[in-house]
Structure 1
Amino acid sequence: MPTNNPSQIDVSRMSRAVVPVLEACSQASEDARRVEPEAMAAIQAAGLSRLLTPERFGGSEAPVSTHVRSCTELARGCAAASWVHMVCGAHTFVVGRYPEACQEEVFGPTPDVLIPGALAPQGRAKRVAEGWELNGRWQFGSGVDHGPWVVLGAQTIDVEEHGVPAIHLVIPRADITIDDTWHTLGMRGTGSRDIVTEAVFVPEHRVMPTRELFRGDFEGHAGPLYRLPVMGALASMLAGNVVGIAQRGLDGFVGATRVREEVYTGTAKAQKASIQMRIAESLGEVELAQSLVDKNCELLDAAMHARRPPPIDRETIAALRWNAAYAAELCRRSTERVYAAAGAGATHNRNALQRWFRDINTACHHAIVDFDGMLEARGRMALGLSPGAPL
């Protein structure tokens, strides 16, 4: 039985036990363009979906680092399943900040609830009596097939009247329409379809202003976990996922290379200096990426225990974002380097390396680890300028 006590959680062990199930389901998830229910059920049964659920609802309310570690381990079995786990955990982390009435609705039935959605404010919300009316279309609704609730971001109409430019809303999946738009190069199994709403009423207790929600800077009952900045934590979760993909891709390449021979000469591929050098450089990049993710986990865990609301300043948030973006970029480079040396056989659908190559390139297109954007932000801050974009 999964424990609720964070001090007793061996997340790596729990996650590794699930990897064989995810791996067995991975091709079916790829083909169906959504994670197989068996895979998500295994993650839930292991207690991994409750890591960031509030303790009073039966969750672990564990440090962010536990979720990051679980994402890295699970990605070694299936990048798509780990991605959906990562996204749903991030949204659990967000909903833990909402009013008690909202949390009762979402977490009351089970602490293992999966919460998909789309945080980017792609919708439009209008003030109405006792709540908001929500309309819009959201891209990239990862895992939308799997949860009873979704979290959606929206810009508000008539902001001058109520002073809140953007909000995030929690709504039942029954109130949305899913548009099957997910036909992609990689991460096919995430099922990141479009979410559509038309004139959906959302009561006040399931709505929060985006600025206060994301900063963790608000009045309320939330514990120190839910005071951490959302974007810095989310970037770290995503980077942890990407590290796991890169590790698995590199392991697969090394294993295959040990038994490969040159087609025309019969020479062992493992004896080629160029192959050895590619492996060494890629190993170094993945190890550095892991150390950057570990550094982020240390920063987030220290801030959680510091119990200062809000616990992290702008410079630390910038460091979290930079570390995550650089880690993701290093992992992308690592996978691309070994894929280029994998030979023509790696282009076949039956070769798993081509999927890891496609998946990691797709994952690294996520805006929160946009490497060019973070290069600019870091350079600007080093010159004493503003980062140029919200962190």
Structure 2
Amino acid sequence: MSVVAANFPEHGFPLPPEPELTPADVVARAEAFASELVERQAETENRTFYATDTHEAFSKAGLYRILVPRRYGGYEFGVDTFVKVAIALTRGCPSTGWMYTLGAAHALAVATVFPESAQDELFAGGDFLAPATIMPSGTAERVDGGWKVNGTWGYCSGAPYATHFVGHALAPGASGQLEPMLFIAPREQWRRLDDWGQQLGLRGSGSHSITVEDAIIPDHYTLPGHMSQYSVADGTPGLRLHGNVEYSGGPLSFMNLESAVLAVGIAKAALDAFEDLMRTRTTLFPPVVTRFEDPDYQYWYGEATGMIATAEVGILGAVRLWQEACAAGPAAFTRELEMRLAGISRQVEQLCWRAVEGHLLPTAGSSSVRRGERLERIWRDMSMLHTHAGSAVFLAAKAQRELSRAHFGLPDELAG
């Protein structure tokens, strides 16, 4: 259900670098990158982000323009294309896929919720990479024409090559109390801290902290409230500006889909590593045969394959539901639908986790989890995903309760 919008030369913005590029082309390019990413996982971890030449290759391949509106020189291919690209890159290197996905994904939210005056400036460069954090931090002080923002935000995945940063600062509300304010800061208004790489996994995901010091953020780069509470019920600036229904969807539900997409990519990487062991190593007990000839290994591989394939079908189905809701109109994005999509994301992640920790890791053998082995690294990366607040807290508990509350007509607990 990929969407390819018409060109808009009358607005004076440039056409995409490759006007005839198709969604299939860009997915094929991402899949072709995977083998090289496998070979560079160690250096990516040591650097804490993927290499400059990888970044340049992604840019040249159009990967940073998949969700950028065509009006601004993007490809506007749709979230289904983006998801396939994210899975392919993550399958090659989970750290690289994580950094790419959580940097490039937020073009969709920016093109959905910010006004034309902001988008004309924010997307002027064509490529768009913006880590986004959900935890409000720092302060915003009212000044002429905007806000003076100060603060430090952690876990900004995608920071090394980011063109922008999307965050939430605490600003005085109408009642005088501090309330979250969504803002976007161009690259020249913040600096990246060298504080990533010591975590259990995803050491190469470029999830550094970002510091903003006395940055003046203009009014049209800000929105009151928290991104998770943004309502599309009355339509969106993105829909009115671009005429593409995918810029009218709920930002919260798409953000929840992102972590499930990454879980599928990581699980597929683990299955690839296990298959290599199946083909190259022998059984531990007689009869000693290559593992792929052994009935037990056949079962473990087959069971994990089925679980991961089910998870992939689940996330692609959730994306289709999200797109169908976009096409149905703003009223389709009910609180219940948003939480139902979150529930699907939760189950996708659980299937991936159980496939890896229940079937692949225990039977791979201790030599395959020595430091530097591919499966060892993937295991750490998947474990790290389960410490992410979106997965461990929101999807694991809050989203389940909110789905039930929405279904039975109870008040929205998340709204406070």
Provide, for residues 48-68 of structure 1, a one-character-per-residue CA deviation record: whole Å limited to 9, x for no partner: 211110111011222211111
Written as runs of structure 1 = structure 2, the 5 A alignment for 1:144-155 is 144-155=159-170
3-state secondary structure, aligned to 1:76: helix
Equivalent residues in 2 for 1:120-131 (5 A)?
120-131=135-146
Q: 2:185 aligns with which of 171, 177, 190?
A: 171
Is the counterpart of residue 28 in structure 1 residue 43 in structure 2? yes
Contact 2:49–2:99 (CA under 8 A) maintained in structure 1: no
2:217 counterpart SS class: strand
Distance 1:376 1:315, change over 3 A: closer
| Structure-to-structure mapping, 1:361-376, within 5 angstroms | 361-370=383-392, 371-373=395-397, 374-376=399-401
Match of 1:261 in 2: 282
Counterpart in 1 of 2:76? 61
Aligned residue in 2 for 1:282: 304
Could you tell me how far apart the structure 1 residues matched to 2:236 and 2:178 are? Answer: 16
Match of 1:107 among 104, 120, 123: 123
Q: CA RMSD in A?
A: 2.7
Superposition deviation, residue 189 in structure 1: 0.5
Distance 1:263 1:276 in 2: 15
**How far apart are 1:153 and its partner, in Å?**
1.5
Q: Distance in 2 between matches of 1:276 and 1:21?
A: 28
Is 1:72 aligned with 2:87? yes
Query: Residues of 2 paired with 1:6 and 1:376: CA distance?
Result: 43
Change (3 A) 1:2 1:251: farther
1:248 to 269, 294, 301: 269
How far is the alpha carbon of 1:71 from its aligned partner?
0.6
**Alignment check: 8 A CA contact 1:289 1:328 kept:** yes
Q: Which residue of 2 aligns with 1:181?
A: 195
Q: What letter is aligned with 2:369?
A: T
Q: Deviations over 1:161-207 (max 9, x none)?
A: 5x993221111223223222222111110121111223322111211
- Between the two proteins, what is the percent identity of the paired residues? 26
* Contact persistence 1:21–1:42 (CA under 8 A): no
Could you tell me which of 317, 342, 346 is aligned with 2:368?
Answer: 346
**What TM-score comes out, normalization by structure 1 length?**
0.89
Q: Deviations over 1:270-317 (max 9, x none)?
A: 4554433322322222112112101111112212333x2354111211
| Match runs of 1:256-335 below 5 Å | 256-263=277-284, 265=286, 267-268=288-289, 269-306=291-328, 308-309=329-330, 311-335=332-356
C-alpha contact 2:23 2:77 (8 A) present in aligned 1: no
Structure 2 distance, partners of 1:5, 1:68, is 21
Query: Contact between 1:4 and 1:55, CA under 8 Å: does it hold in 2?
Result: no
SS at match of 2:210: strand
CA contact 1:215–1:228 (8 Å) conserved in 2: no
Amino acid at match of 1:173: R
Q: Distance in 2 between matches of 1:40 and 1:318?
A: 34
> Using a 3 Å threshold, how does the CA distance of structure 1 residues 137 and 286 change in structure 2: closer, same or farther?
same
- Structure 1 CA distance for aligned equivalents of residues 56 and 331 of structure 2: 35
Displacement after TM superposition at 1:72 (Å): 0.8
Deviation at 1:102, TM superposition (A): 2.3
Moved more, 139-148 or 276-285: 276-285
For 1:151 and 1:247, how far apart are their aligned partners in 2? 30
Q: Does 1:12 align with 2:27?
A: yes
Mapped contact 1:25–1:38 kept (Cα < 8 A): no
The Cα offsets for residues 49-101 of structure 1, whole Å up to 9 and x where unpaired, read as 11110111011222211111111111111111211221122221122132233
| Amino acid corresponding to residue 184 of structure 1 in structure 2 | Q
Change in CA separation of 1:390 and 1:324 when aligned onto 2, cut-off 3 Å? farther
| Aligned partner (choices 246, 250, 261) of residue 229 of structure 1 | 250
Whichever residue aligns with residue 372 of structure 1, its letter is A
Aligned residues: 388
Counterpart contact for 1:40–1:81, Cα < 8 Å: no
Gaps of 5+ in 2: 1-15
AA in 2 matched with 1:278: W
1:98 aligns with 2:114: yes
Question: Which position in structure 1 is the counterpart of 2:4?
Answer: none
Task: Specify whether residues 95 and 380 from structure 1 end up closer, same or farther in structure 2 by C-alpha distance, changes over 3 A only.
Answer: closer
Separation in 1, partners of 2:140, 2:208: 21
How far residue 17 of structure 1 moved from its aligned partner, in angstroms, is 2.3
Q: Where does residue 7 of structure 2 map in the other structure?
A: none
The SS at the match of 1:389 is helix
Alpha carbons 2:236, 2:247 under 8 Å: kept: no
Instruction: Find the residue that maps to 1:86 and give its secondary structure.
Output: helix
In structure 1, how many angstroms separate the alpha carbons of the residues matched to 2:407 and 2:97?
A: 35
The more displaced of 194-203 and 21-30 is 21-30
Deviation at 1:10, TM superposition (A): 4.0
C-alpha contact (below 8 Å) 2:182/2:226 kept by paired residues = no
Q: Tell me the distance in 1 between the aligned counterparts of 2:146 and 2:76.
A: 29
Distance 1:6 1:388, change over 3 A: farther
Where do 5+ consecutive residues of structure 1 fail to align? none
Name the residue aligned to 1:37.
Answer: 52
Residue identity matched to 2:270: G
Tell me if structure 2 keeps the 8 A contact 1:79–1:245.
Answer: yes
Q: Could you say what secondary structure the match of 1:185 adopts?
A: coil
Q: Secondary structure in 2 aligned to 1:372?
A: helix
